[in-house]
Chain A
Amino acid sequence: DIVMTQSPDSLAVSLGERATINCKSSQNILHSSKNKNLLAWYQQKSGQPPKLLIYWASTRASGVPDRFSGSGSGTDFTLTISSLQAEDVAVYYCQQYYSSPYTFGQGTNLEIK
């Protein structure tokens, strides 16, 4: 199975500041023929199901604010929130969908400083 490791486990950022979450996969998840990284990011607010934020490592899902961006390739990926808003408090997960089982990172708890 592909192991996904996020860092940090927890992060506190001031309102309006940048938040950066990292995700590392144990194997290359770049699909060579599609030239796309098979990585997604999800946001889970307290008491709610997860919500898709980013797919193909950098494509925002419908309705996701443009302060959320994804980057990276191969084995190293980043989710960036350019200007943190109060409603962004949540746990964030990365996930690879390159090979089954589609594994998740352990999650990063994002709070307001």
Chain B
Amino acid sequence: EAGVVQSPRYKIIEKKQPVAFWCNPISGHNTLYWYRQNLGQGPELLIRYENEEAVDDSQLPKDRFSAERLKGVDSTLKIQPAELGDSAVYLCASSLTPGSPLFFGEGSRLTVL
């Protein structure tokens, strides 16, 4: 069974440019999460979806970050415009139900110059 798939694995952009990350969760997992992991830190939740509904986006910087999960399967996370402080690894995770364990993708490492 395929795990959580993310792309791209690496992205280098200049500040003020836009960037987008894509995630395909484990088949049948209705709950999808986007986390951000700064160097030397644990992951921090950005947004959580139940099917296509964003049920917790309280930690998402809405002035420049947006996310969508239109058909309740794949999801995209967008940053526009990117800032230097956005350099981090963006992790996507999915779980079968809200209370079941999360399974993570390999992450998308963003470097903003």
Is B truly associated with A? no
Residues of B within 8 A of A (CB): none
